[in-house]
Amino acid sequence: MERREELLRAAARVYARHGYRGSTTRRIADEAGVNEITIFRQFGTKDTLIHEAIASSGMSGPLVELPKVPVDPQRELQEWAAALRSHICASRSLMRRCMSEREEHPQLSASANRGPMRAAAALQAYFGRLHEHGFIKGDVNARAAAAMLIGTIFSDAMGRDVMPDIYPSTPAAAAEQYTALILSAIGLSPRTAGA
């Protein structure tokens, strides 16, 4: 693994555990197994390193690509939703830390928002393609629909360990149910739902 990438991963792990103040360059260097001067050579400042670490954690998600030409919207969206949920779960500590430090370090929001914004854009475009390819007959508010699905997935991924009884029995069942509900809400024709 490239040194820069390892430094970013180490910084994200340290930030998730210790927060902004506790993420000293010494701790990050120790976590990455490098000399502290390496951080300054690569990133210049701790602030730059933390921003890039948070941004790269959100951007490197193993999201399933939504197809350019939809064939089976329920399956395609369910796989995408399950991958997004898994990515959020894997980044949960980092996201919780970003959220808890939002007021003290509002500048971190721009870095933390890159991944969710990418997911929202991909989902909005997919809903548009569903309309273009005749899966949805009426108008659809793709932005609202994407916000609803992503918000639900985010809530499940961030809250299931705290309030397990309010979510569907398993993450797989949740992905299936959430996608079926949003597709129904945007008017997916039942005869084309699994075509």
Specify the pLDDT at position 116: 83
Specify the pLDDT at position 17: 95
pLDDT band at 1 (very low <50, low <70, confident <90, very high): low
What mean pLDDT comes out for the span 108-123?
84
Specify the pLDDT at position 191: 46
What percent of the chain shows pLDDT beyond 90?
68
The answer to whether residue 195 scores a pLDDT higher than 50 is: no
**What whole-number distance in Å separates Cα of residue 164 and Cα of residue 100?**
21
Specify the pLDDT at position 58: 64
Specify the pLDDT at position 190: 56
Specify the pLDDT at position 107: 82
Nearest to 77, CA basis, from 165, 184, 170 = 184
* Candidate from 92-101, 112-121, 180-189 with smallest mean pLDDT: 112-121
Specify the pLDDT at position 59: 54
Is the Cβ–Cβ distance between 78 and 173 less than 8 Å?
no
| Other beta carbons less than 10 A from residue 105's beta carbon | 17
Is the backbone of residue 33 left (phi > 0), alpha (psi -120 to 50) or beta? left
Specify the pLDDT at position 114: 78
Tokens of 179: 């996608």
What mean pLDDT comes out for the span 7-18?
94
Give bridge partners of residue 188 from the DSSP assignment.
136
**What whole-number distance in Å separates Cα of residue 119 and Cα of residue 149?**
11
Burial 60-78 (b: 16+ CB within 10 A, else e): ebebbebeeebeebbebbb
**What whole-number distance in Å separates Cα of residue 125 and Cα of residue 59?**
18
Q: For residue 26, give the amino acid letter.
A: R
pLDDT band at 91 (very low <50, low <70, confident <90, very high): confident
What percent of the chain shows pLDDT beyond 70?
93
pLDDT band at 31 (very low <50, low <70, confident <90, very high): very high
The answer to whether residue 6 scores a pLDDT higher than 50 is: yes
The answer to whether residue 55 scores a pLDDT higher than 90 is: no
Per the prediction, the chain carries an average pLDDT of: 89
